[in-house]
A and B are shown apart, each in its own frame.
Chain A
Amino acid sequence: MVKKAISVRGLTKRFGDLVAVDGISFDVENGEIFGFLGPNGAGKTTTINILVTIMKPTSGEAFVAGYNVLENPIKVRERIGVVFQDNTVDRNLTGWENLYIHGLIYGLKGEELRRKIEESLEFAELTKFKDVPVKNYSGGMVRRLEIARALMHKPEILFLDEPTIGLDPHTRARIWEYIRRLREEGGVTIFMTTHYMDEAEKLCDRVAIIDHGKIVAIGSPDELKSNLGGDILYVKVSDRTISLKEFAEEILEEGTALSYKLLGDTLAFKVRSASKAIPLVFRVADSMNVTIEEIKYAQPSLGDVFLHYTGRELRDEEGDWKEMARMRIAVRRRR
């Protein structure tokens, strides 16, 4: 049997009365980018902390690279690279020094160590800044350094906890480039968490939607979205000899759309796939002498998926802050 990159069964973590992770189970295949999508306080970071062996679960099992995180933490640690949500580089040291220490800790030495440091600096595009203390780096530079550092010892699995949190859009796009490059180069499985749906959508092969410590849906972004019933196609008609209703019925009959709604002089079709439906709509319009003035479609986003499963919107700030504050208070009380 080929081992899974990550295998989790019934994982639970309680902090006093608060259940941060509530009996979750999932598998991550080798070589894929697997994402945990959910609001702050949903249990994403807690899950990562357990998987990377620095927090003990209350109950349940987790295997990383084939090893039990509780029984064989050292074996797990040898095979993973971790980028935590908060920076873990030493801000008083330079980029080079941080990589040097990391290399030593992971058993690299001599020429190989020096070569790996140069390679990592190049990958992070920080060669020019290698002798500058990290406290003078921008947020994006620090993140790049952290990702390059986590990859320095060639881990089988890379953990990224909110890799672009707090970064500006330009820098986020650049970090995404890095993560995509890793997939293209192959060889590393990526487990990442995020509360940005665009991030999950753009990067992840499969996504688990997590809310209040539970996985509510799991699958590829496309699967999750098409489970909601496909796209919505808006067709605005300018010139016609038949009624809008006749036109719509004809399209339904062709099997192109699942249902339709009339919105003034616009027809809204629910379709499985907009890209396949659009040419068919044009063909029907042609044969019925209907002129289409405008056609557009909307894809359900992972945000809609989240809304569908949890009944709440996945927003970045406000609501989540309250939840995070609640969690912090609960954790403090325990102490």
Chain B
Amino acid sequence: MNEARILYAMAYRQLKRYFRAKSRLLGTLINPLVFFLFFGMGWSATLRGSMARQLFGGIDYLSFLAPGIVMMAIFTASLVGGISVIWDREFGFLKEVLVAPASRAYAILGRALGDSLTSVLQGLIILIPLYFVAPALKLEGLVPTLVVGFVTALTFNSLGIAIASKMRSPEGFQLIMSLVTLPLIFLSGAFYPIDNLPQYAKVIFYINPLTFAVDSSRYLLTGKSSLNLILDLIVLLSLSLIFLIISIRIFKESTID
């Protein structure tokens, strides 16, 4: 019972913060939107006709791109949320949790759940307008996509928490963000299909968790995919579990020195 309260308290905090920090909301929305506008509009104008469609499994480029953009939004928001544990350390709130008799495992889990909820919300905010411009998106794919998005968010949020615990100061925040986010986004198959890549290049995509998130949401939203949905889900679920356990382990041992 106590555990449930801690879970709720920490999730409550993340949600409250989310709805109060308009700049963070906007900041993590801008990148996906920019990519969608500049990449999407440009390529969709170039890659027209049935020949081009075949490249993307028979759908138009905007519809091909849309799921990747949604996952990109969820991925960025959740990773930023996880790494923002360093601000909790810097501005003291972490100490409030560390001196409490509460379960630290549930505290960090609650934080991750709250952040993941807000990340999925970010994804939804992006996805809704995409329905109007990407004709091949299926409405029945909306809810399953958000569920996959939630698992993806949990994965990257706990990865962020683990990264943050290894950082001694917030100065490295920007560096990590550009060092981790951009490569992962470009190597996820969000912008082009990975089917025709040479085998050695595919390996790089397969070790990127985001690949599986993009692939599964593309299947759910458009019916097209490069991999198998079940495989995608197994990979995502196991990764989220592994990263959660790692972040809980790290947080349990947290002292401030």
Residues of the A chain whose Cβ atoms lie less than 8 Å from the Cβ of B102: 105-107
Is B255 in contact with A54, judged by CB distance below 8 angstroms?
A: yes
Is A93 in contact with B16, judged by CB distance below 8 angstroms?
A: yes
Most chain A beta carbons < 10 A, residue from B6, B8, B10, B13: B13
In the assembly, what is the distance between CA of A100 and CA of B10, in Å? 11
Binds A, one of B90-98, B196-204, B224-232, B234-242: B90-98
Given A77-B99, A86-B92, A87-B92, A104 and B8 contact (CB-CB distance below 8 Å): yes
Is A104 in contact with B255, judged by CB distance below 8 angstroms?
A: no
Interface string of B73-104 (1 = CB under 8 A from A): 00000000000000000011111111111100
Is B257 in contact with A104, judged by CB distance below 8 angstroms?
A: no
- Beta-carbon contacts under 8 Å, B1-22 to A: 2, 5-6, 8-10, 12-13, 16-17, 20-21
| CB nearest neighbor in A for B103 | A74
Residues of the B chain whose Cβ atoms lie less than 8 Å from the Cβ of A78: 101
Is B9 in contact with A92, judged by CB distance below 8 angstroms?
A: no
| One of A15, A74, A335 near B101 (C-beta < 8 A) | A74
Given A55-B256, A55-B257, A101 and B95 contact (CB-CB distance below 8 Å): no
| CB nearest neighbor in B for A88 | B92
Interface string of A319-335 (1 = CB under 8 A from B): 00000000000000001
Residues of the B chain whose Cβ atoms lie less than 8 Å from the Cβ of A102: 96
Is A105 in contact with B100, judged by CB distance below 8 angstroms?
A: yes
Interface string of A83-95 (1 = CB under 8 A from B): 0101111111100
How many residues of chain A have a CB within 8 Å of chain B?
32
Q: How many whole Å from B14's CB to the nearest CB in chain A?
A: 10
In the assembly, what is the distance between CA of A101 and CA of B8, in Å? 9
| CB nearest neighbor in B for A103 | B9
Let me know if B190 is at the binding interface, CB within 8 A: no
Is B21 in contact with A92, judged by CB distance below 8 angstroms?
A: yes
Let me know if A80 is at the binding interface, CB within 8 A: yes
Is A92 in contact with B17, judged by CB distance below 8 angstroms?
A: yes
Residues of the B chain whose Cβ atoms lie less than 8 Å from the Cβ of A89: 92-93, 96
Let me know if A109 is at the binding interface, CB within 8 A: yes
Residues of the A chain whose Cβ atoms lie less than 8 Å from the Cβ of B5: 104-105, 107, 109
Let me know if B107 is at the binding interface, CB within 8 A: yes
Let me know if A49 is at the binding interface, CB within 8 A: yes
Q: With contacts A54-B255, A88-B92 known, what are 4 further pairs, Cβ within 8 A?
A: A77-B99, A84-B92, A84-B95, A107-B2
Residues of B within 8 A of A (CB): 2, 5-6, 8-10, 12-13, 16-17, 20-21, 91-102, 107, 168, 255-257
**What are 5 A-B residue pairs whose CB atoms fall within 8 Å in the complex?**
A55-B256, A86-B92, A89-B96, A105-B100, A107-B5
Residues of A within 8 A of B (CB): 15, 49, 52-56, 74, 77-78, 80, 82, 84, 86-93, 97, 100-102, 104-107, 109, 133, 335
